[in-house]
Amino acid sequence: MRTDLAAAYGEERLPRYTSYPTAPHFSPAVTPDVYARWLAEIPANVSASLYLHVPFCRKMCWYCGCHTQIARREDPVAQYQATLLREVSLVAEAIGRRIKVEHIHFGGGTPTIMAPEAFTELMAAIRQAFFVLPTAEIAVEIDPRTLTSEMTDALALAGINRASLGVQSFDPAVQVAINRVQSFAQTKKVTEDLRQAGIKGVNFDLIYGLPYQTVASCLATVQRCLELRPDRFSVFGYAHVPSFKKHQRKIEEARLPASRARHDQACAIANALKEAGYVQIGLDHFALPGDPMAVAFEQHRLRRNFQGYTTDSSDVLIGLGASAIGHLPQGYVQNDVRIETYAEAIDAGRLATVKGYALTDDDRLRADIIERIMCDFAVDLGEVCARHGTASAVMLQSAPRLKTLISDGVVELDGDQLAVNSDSRFLLRSVAAAFDAHLDTAKQLHSRAV
């Protein structure tokens, strides 16, 4: 444990690098017409992945950083589902053919807030508009507190084969402080019901750095989770950005652990999961040996997108729904965050794109370097730069932050081989940031590095 480095780097505000450049750099220059052209230009031999955003929950969790709102009635959700159906058709029409799809991810919010028949209808429309491969991973994010048996059956019928369950913490004091009271019994029942329905891939999401959280409470949560033996864990540090997410103001900042305590919590969780037989995947994921994510990590095929680490190898990510972000070879696109204006555009037969980013050659080079650092803890700068027609020496000269990281013992540079030292891997985002040419203008929106 490098507590000296945690103190030195821990207060930096840095992106999670699920994209490069990051979303704060998107601009209105990418219009619906631009997006339509990009869709039509998708090469014929390329397969895609889909992300569908459902921005509704039954109750607001105060730590939440997602684009979501509370829906106590069914009508808004049903209307939104109808809009999603229309958007699926619009996007497929813009592409001009039935493109292959290898991954589908339903996120939110709470995607399972939809009525069971509405979810199966949406999935059927997706299969009609796109060629969903038989081997496709189809994943959904689930709030165990609200999942019904009818919805579980609908998920299985729709072909869902992976479920991500929000757990965060089982500590009662923490749960009250974040407005998310969820029992172990609820989580256990949902996990068992999903597996019984044939949905074998189960992930648990945990968070450290929450109010009142301690190393002991983090470990107690891990031990309860291990009783259910999920295939994967995602372990995220809480990002406290109350200026951006106003409901986070309900969390007392004085009760949040400092960087050193956050570091201790993250290390304790990681060590407990590794001792239980899980493989650490990059910065914040863990998987059982033999899991496709663990295999991809070992074979250096791991990728990173807006859902975090992924086995998805596609270079085309189509975002559907309010606030959804897509990634195409030409750049990034984002839909209107506001549900009402998103729906107005779709209902009028227009794509709901409001901003995006057209990638430059330098962006693509830096994105590749950052992705390999985030996925492999290392990068062959010579190989990556050569693929982009650039000399590694030029890239190193443009990364002045790297000198400090080397002198502090965070990374080692042997020729063109850059590697993060094993006891400094918790600073992976700091290493990636050394190659971020856009960093300074948006860091106030990001979470602490540790």
Tens-place pLDDT, residues 219-239: 999 999 999 999 999 999 998
pLDDT of amino acid 72: 86
Which run of H or of E encompasses 271? helix 259-275
* Ordered structural domains, the chain, with CATH: 1-20+360-450 (1.10.10.920), 31-325 (3.80.30.20)
Helix, strand, coil percent values for the chain (each to nearest 5): 45, 20, 35
Which candidate, 150, 134, 142, 131, places its Cα nearest to that of 45?
131
DSSP states along 363-388: HHHHHHHHHHHHHHSEEEHHHHHHHT
pLDDT of amino acid 442: 47
Tens-place pLDDT, residues 152-203: 999 999 999 999 999 999 999 999 999 999 999 999 999 999 999 999 999 9
- β-strands 411-414, 417-420 pairing: antiparallel
Identify any residues that bridge with 310 across adjacent strands, giving them in sequence order: 303
**Order of strands, edge to edge, in the sheet holding 48-54?**
279-281, 285-287, 232-237, 201-208, 162-168, 131-142, 100-108, 48-54, 317-320, 325-328, 331-335, 353-358
Q: Is 173 helix (H, G, I), strand (E, B) or coil?
A: helix
pLDDT of amino acid 445: 56
Whether omega before 308 lies within 30 degrees of 0, making that bond cis, reads: no
Given a cut of 70, the residues of the chain with pLDDT beneath it are: 1-3, 6-7, 10, 441-450
Which candidate, 71, 87, 69, places its Cα nearest to that of 342?
87
pLDDT of amino acid 1: 44
Q: Which residues of 279-315 are buried (b: 16+ CB within 10 A; e: fewer)?
A: bbbbbbbbbbeebbbbebbeeeebebbbbbbbbbebe
Token digits of residue 279? 């493989």
Q: Is 55 helix (H, G, I), strand (E, B) or coil?
A: coil
Identify any residues that bridge with 251 across adjacent strands, giving them in sequence order: none
